[in-house]
Each structure stands twice: as structure tokens, then as C-alpha cells.
Structure 1
Amino acid sequence: MSARLNSAQPYVIGLFRIVVGLLFAVHGAASLFGVLGGAAGTEGGTIPSGTWPGWYAAVIQLVAGGLVLLGLGTRGAALIASGSMAYAYFDVHQQAALWPIQNGGELSVLYCWAFFLLVFTGSGALGLDRLFTRSAVVTRKPAGEQAPIAA
């Protein structure tokens, strides 16, 4: 049973990455462009351009979420996304109370740890990262075969 579960692991990580990246990107798009309900508590449903830290956080959410969704530069994008959510938790939420359930920071904590996990697991299956790393791998001959001699 565990062998079957282990063989499915790259695909489950890939699906996890797609869902987390999509939700994060949609959150950024909602804040920046007012789609899907827009940003709560803002005029017109969008965050004014250049507003610190909300607008920058929304840009990170859109770009990093999109990259993670596609599985392109997953580890780097996930590291930036994880750090932005850690910042959001400690700068915004923890001032209100100690525990995430008390200060409304559960989503920031979950995103932070989900992206942190992706830093270590990578994109899994179904990601564009695999296409680029596969083409960059040099094919080696088995130990008994000789490489052709250049003339």
C-alpha cells in the first residue's frame, strides 16, 4: 500500500502546488484589479498603487502565485511567497493577539507553511520546472560503452 502511495507523491505535490498557487494568485488579482469581490475595505475594491505594504503584497501574491501555479521557478517563488506571509502575520496580525485564531492570521500562517513546504519539495509532477530541467540534463552512456571519438 505504501509503495502505491509513494508512487503518487509527485502528482499529489503537483496538485497541491496548483491549488495553493491558484488561490494565492486569485487573492492578489482580487486585491489589485477588484475581480472576484476585490479587496475588502478598499474603495472600488482595489488597493491603491504603491500603497505599503498592501499593494506590494498583492503583486507578490499575483506573480508568485502564478509562478507556483505553473510550476515555474517554484522554489524561489515559494520562498518569496512564504516570507511575505510570515511578514503579514508578524507585522499585521500578531499585534492584535498571540494566537492566529485570535488575531485572524490563520490564512497567513497556512500560506506561509504551505509555500515553505514547496520550497523543499519543489514543483512535483505537472510543473514547467520539469520541462526545463529535463532538457538541461546531459545523457550519459552506461559504464561499458565508449563515447564516439571526434575526428
Structure 2
Amino acid sequence: MSARLNGAQPYALGLFRIVVGLLFACHGAASLFGVLGGAAGTRGGTLEAGAWPGWYAAVIQLVGGLLVLLGLGTRVAAFIASGSMAYAYFKVHQPGALWPMENGGEPSAMFCWALLLLVFTGSGAFGLDRLLTRRSPAADSAEPAPVTA
């Protein structure tokens, strides 16, 4: 059973990346374009262009979310997006109350940690990164070189 689950790991990771990227991009699209209910607490459902920090966060959400969704530059995009969510949590939500349940910061905290996980795991299956970096079958199955001190 464990071998089967381990074999499916890249596919589960790829699906995880797709879902996280899609949801993250939806937040950015809502804030920038007023779609999907618009941005919470804004007049007209969109953020004013250039408004700090909301508009910049929304651009990171949209662009970073799309890159993560596609699996294109996943580690870099996820790193920047994770950092933006850490900033959102500690500068916007955490001053209001200690716990995410109290301060409304649950989405920021969850996105921060989910995206940070992708920094370390990479895109998994179904990512454009795999298509663009042509790897030989031998390179995929090669054992890593031993580390010597």
C-alpha cells in the first residue's frame, strides 16, 4: 500500500498545486477586476490601482496564482506569494487579535504555509516546468551523488 501511495505522490502534489494556484489567483482576480464577488470591503468591488498594500498583494495573488497553477516557475512564484501572505497575516490580521480564528487571518495563514510547501516540493506532476526542462529518462532515475565532507 505504501509503495502505491509513494508512486502517486507526484500526481497528488500536482493536483494540490493546481488547486492552491487556482484559489490564490481567484483572490487576486476578485480584488483587481471585481469578479467572483469582488474584494471585501471595497467600493465597487475592486481595489484602487497602486494602493498599498492591497493592490500589490492582488497582483501577486493573480500572477503568482496563475504561475503556480500552471507549474511555471513554481518555486520562485510560490516563495514570493508565500512571503506576501506572511506579510498580510502579520501586518494586517495579527495586530487585531492573536489567533487566526479571531483576526480573520485564516486564509492568509493557510495560503502562506501551502505555498511555502510548494517552494520545497516543486511543482509535482502536470506542471509546465517539466515540459520546458527536457530531462532524459536516465536523469530522472539517477541516484543523487553522495555528499562528502
TM over 0.5: yes
Structure 2 residue aligned with 1:57: 57
The one-letter amino acid of 2:33's match is F
Structure 2 residue aligned with 1:94: 94
Superposition deviation, residue 138 in structure 1: 10
Superposition deviation, residue 99 in structure 1: 1.1
The whole-number CA distance in structure 2 between the counterparts of 1:61 and 1:46 is: 14
Structure 1 unaligned residues grouped into runs of 5+: 141-151
1:118 partnered with 2:89: no
Superposition deviation, residue 134 in structure 1: 2.1
Structure 2 residue aligned with 1:145: none
5 Å-filtered alignment, 1:1-150, equals 1-134=1-134
Aligned residue pairs total: 139
Identity within the alignment, %? 78
The whole-number CA distance in structure 1 between the counterparts of 2:24 and 2:134 is: 27
RMSD across aligned C-alpha pairs, in angstroms? 1.4
The whole-number CA distance in structure 1 between the counterparts of 2:30 and 2:137 is: 43
The one-letter amino acid of 2:52's match is W
Structure 2 unaligned residues grouped into runs of 5+: 140-149
SS in structure 2 at match of 1:72: coil
SS in structure 1 at match of 2:67: helix
State which structure, 1 or 2, has the greater radius of gyration over its C-alpha atoms.
1
In terms of mean alpha carbon deviation, does 15-24 or 98-107 score higher? 98-107
TM-score between both structures, scaled by the size of structure 2: 0.90
SS in structure 2 at match of 1:37: coil
Query: What are the superposed Cα offsets for residues 15-69 of structure 1, whole Å, 9 maximum, x if unpaired?
Result: 0000000000011001000011111111111000000000000000000000000
The whole-number CA distance in structure 1 between the counterparts of 2:134 and 2:102 is: 46
Superposition deviation, residue 9 in structure 1: 0.2
Structure 2 residue aligned with 1:146: none
The one-letter amino acid of 2:124's match is G
Structure 1 residue aligned with 2:143: none
